[in-house]
A and B are shown apart, each in its own frame.
Chain A
């Protein structure tokens, strides 16, 4: 089992819809969770981080964390074509040195 798993997609949504991206992790002791956006040919860009169970909202983005079920999700409201990118879920494992363990990423395509 991979430490961080994501559906590779592509996830295709129409402009204006809600895009829902999911991630599961295997280390029950993990405390820190991150979502990065990566455009083709570019480096990862931090979108959100979340440490506590529940929802965290920032503009059109909402991160959701459920430690009991070991999943973290990212919702993008009012999706725009400019949101089309690969979204990487990353986890800091318990007992580590803050190194990020990444999922394979989910490719999101927002079509007009």
Chain B
């Protein structure tokens, strides 16, 4: 079946602009995770959704970052007033409710100029 999809694949924006990143998990997967991968920080957790709820937001780096999930499926990660340090690859992963293995999407490469 189809894997995790993300859009856009690349995004270039100017400092101070808002961006929205989208994740479409594997069909039937109730758990959805956002991670960020940057050169200096490696791969780090941002937020976890179980259904439409986010019981763990501990990785969001600032209040400029927010995320939502609707219909237990698609999720959107929003970064307001982007800064150059937000430049990274944003990865989404999903897993089924009965398994811990997470499958990653192709990522969105964000560049803030």
For B31, what are the chain A residues with a Cβ–Cβ distance below 8 Å?
98
Q: Which residues of A contact B (CB under 8 A)?
A: 32, 34, 36, 42-46, 49, 88, 92, 96-105
Selected from A42, A46, A99, A105, the residue in CB contact (under 8 A) with B33 is: A99
Count of CB-CB pairs between chains A and B under 8 Å: 50
Whether the Cβ atoms of B56 and A43 lie closer than 8 Å is no
- Contacts of B37-59 to chain A: CB distance below 8 A: 42-45, 48, 50, 55-56, 59
Looking at the assembled complex, report how far the CB atom of B88 sits from the nearest CB atom of chain A, in whole angstroms: 13
Q: Which residues of B contact A (CB under 8 A)?
A: 31, 33, 35, 42-45, 48, 50, 55-56, 59, 89, 91, 93, 95, 100-107
Selected from B42, B45, B100, the residue in CB contact (under 8 A) with A32 is: B100
Known: A99-B56, A100-B102. A43 touches B45 (CB 8 A): no
Whether the Cβ atoms of A45 and B59 lie closer than 8 Å is no
Selected from A42, A46, A105, the residue in CB contact (under 8 A) with B101 is: A46
Known: A98-B31, A98-B48, A98-B95. A44 touches B43 (CB 8 A): yes
